[in-house]
């Protein structure tokens, strides 16, 4: 197995609050580097080099504990949003909570993404407060270590807000794109490419600092973070970009159809509470007749619901309201974007309704 492939392997670290925590072998490289960097930072305050090393090691462990709390904040909010967590994976410069499923709404994703940077900001403030206490007690070494932890947590929060996936800022951007009507996988590809651009910028910035300013340590640090981020963004983008090769049949959902002779009252009282959606195909005996939009139903006075039939409210079928099951997904998405309703019925070779698709709700099934 290649050396770098081995370093990217993961091993189980612990179970914390019923959440499995895994860690990459690359973490040990960063642990060593940060321990050395911290030890050098406090070397002038400590007479013994071995003491500097152990203090640097302990501080680095606290930093990684802070990174775990950053990721656990995502987990905590995800659970509040009804999303189960499979595991937390700690990478060299951050982590990633693996969700059992993606958040149902952009609002839920926004809140889950924001929880991590918020936790890091709070930790930075907490370290500053404790640092002030240590200063008042003239505990200079402890105050310096707490200052380092405060700065690292602040930078972790700020860096994670950059708008590129898999950073939290990329997830916030993805939530915004979903709000604008992009489906989950398309939004992930776009934000993943933003992450690659940010990563490349970090690498070039690091090289500039080394070659022009002669500051090797700062430049090396920036380039290393950029390389790790680029690798993570590339993997995610490559995985999700596969949607362009998929066909509609591989991603469509089972249709929840309404019969055209159903009255609006029955739809509102019996069907809508069970399937809280905004668009429904109108079909009978698998024959697609039209599409029912909830916005059209809301325009009807309630006193008319009993007498009006769905066929009087639906939008009659048009060529751009349906697609064949063997059509390319990317073509179907373009059709949904242009047809004015953001949805498509899916028919088989015999013209029977076999599926339904909506913008913003397309998910690649593994």
Element (H, E) at 156: helix 140-160
**Rounded-to-integer distance, Cα 283 and Cα 345, Å:** 10
**Rounded-to-integer distance, Cα 80 and Cα 306, Å:** 39
User: pLDDT of the chain along its 366 residues, tens only?
Assistant: 444 454 556 667 778 877 888 887 778 888 888 888 888 877 777 777 788 888 889 998 999 899 899 999 999 999 998 888 888 888 766 777 878 777 878 899 999 999 999 999 999 999 999 999 999 998 888 898 999 899 999 999 999 999 988 889 999 999 999 888 787 778 888 898 998 999 999 999 989 988 888 877 778 878 888 888 888 888 778 777 666 678 889 889 999 999 999 999 999 999 999 887 889 999 999 999 999 999 999 999 999 999 999 999 999 999 999 999 999 887 888 898 888 898 999 999 888 999 999 876 776 554
Please name which of 185, 217, 191 lies closest in space to residue 364, comparing C-alpha atoms. 185
Strand-pair partners of 281: 291
Structure tokens at 283: 């079909």
Return the DSSP state at 24: E
Q: How far is C-alpha 55 from the chain's CA centre? A: 35
**Rounded-to-integer distance, Cα 74 and Cα 88, Å:** 10
Q: What is the DSSP string of 168-189?
A: HHHHHHHHHHHHTT--HHHHHH
Tokens 């066929």 locate to 311
Residue 269 has what pLDDT? 92
Q: Are 165 and 236 in contact (CB under 8 A)?
A: yes
Residue 172 has what pLDDT? 94
Residue 3 has what pLDDT? 43
Please name the residues in contact with 16: beta carbons below 8 A apart, sequence gap of 6 or more.
68, 72, 88
Please name which of 113, 243, 272 lies closest in space to residue 184, comparing C-alpha atoms. 243
Please name which of 58, 55, 71 lies closest in space to residue 23, comparing C-alpha atoms. 71
**Rounded-to-integer distance, Cα 323 and Cα 288, Å:** 11
- pTM of the predicted structure, to 2 decimals: 0.67
Q: Are 363 and 251 in contact (CB under 8 A)?
A: yes
Element (H, E) at 281: strand 279-284
Phi, psi of 270 (to 5 degrees): -110, -35
Residue 2 has what pLDDT? 45
Q: What share of the chain is helix, strand, coil (3-state, %, to 5)?
A: 60, 15, 25
Please name which of 127, 94, 109 lies closest in space to residue 195, comparing C-alpha atoms. 94
**Rounded-to-integer distance, Cα 214 and Cα 147, Å:** 26
Domains of the chain: 3-244 (no CATH), 248-358 (3.10.580.10)
């Amino acid at each position: 197995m290649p050396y770098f492939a081995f370093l990217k392997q993961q091993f189980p670290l612990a179970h914390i609050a019923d959440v499995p925590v895994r860690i990459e072998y690359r973490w040990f490289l960063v642990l060593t580097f940060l321990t050395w960097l911290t030890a050098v930072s406090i070397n002038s305050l400590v007479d013994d080099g071995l003491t500097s090393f152990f203090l640097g090691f302990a501080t680095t462990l606290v930093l990684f504990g802070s990174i775990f709390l950053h990721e656990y904040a995502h987990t905590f909010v995800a659970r509040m949003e009804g999303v189960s967590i499979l595991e937390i994976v700690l990478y060299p410069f951050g982590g990633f909570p693996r969700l059992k499923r993606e958040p149902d709404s952009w609002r839920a994703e926004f809140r889950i993404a924001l929880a991590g940077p918020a936790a890091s900001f709070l930790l930075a403030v907490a370290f500053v407060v404790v640092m002030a206490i240590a200063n008042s007690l003239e505990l200079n070494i402890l105050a310096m270590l707490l200052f380092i932890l405060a700065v690292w947590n602040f930078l972790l929060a700020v860096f994670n807000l950059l708008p590129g996936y898999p950073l939290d800022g990329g997830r916030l951007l993805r939530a915004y794109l979903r709000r604008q009507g992009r489906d989950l996988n398309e939004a992930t590809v776009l934000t993943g490419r933003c992450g690659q651009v940010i990563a490349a910028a970090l690498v070039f910035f690091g090289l500039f600092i080394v070659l022009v300013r002669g500051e090797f340590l700062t430049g090396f640090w920036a380039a290393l973070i950029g390389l790790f981020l680029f690798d993570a963004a590339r993997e995610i983008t490559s995985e999700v970009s596969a949607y362009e090769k998929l066909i509609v049949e591989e991603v469509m959902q089972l249709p929840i159809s309404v019969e055209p002779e159903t009255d609006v009252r029955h739809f509102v009282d019996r069907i809508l509470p069970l399937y809280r959606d905004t668009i429904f195909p109108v079909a009978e005996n698998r024959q697609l007749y039209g599409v029912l939009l909830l916005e059209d139903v809301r325009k009807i006075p309630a006193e008319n619901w009993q007498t009006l039939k769905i066929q009087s409210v639906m939008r009659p079928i048009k060529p751009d309201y349906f697609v064949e099951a063997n059509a390319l997904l990317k073509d179907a998405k373009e059709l949904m974007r242009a047809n004015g309703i953001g949805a498509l019925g899916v028919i088989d070779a015999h013209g029977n309704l076999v599926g339904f698709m909506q913008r913003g709700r397309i998910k690649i099934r593994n």
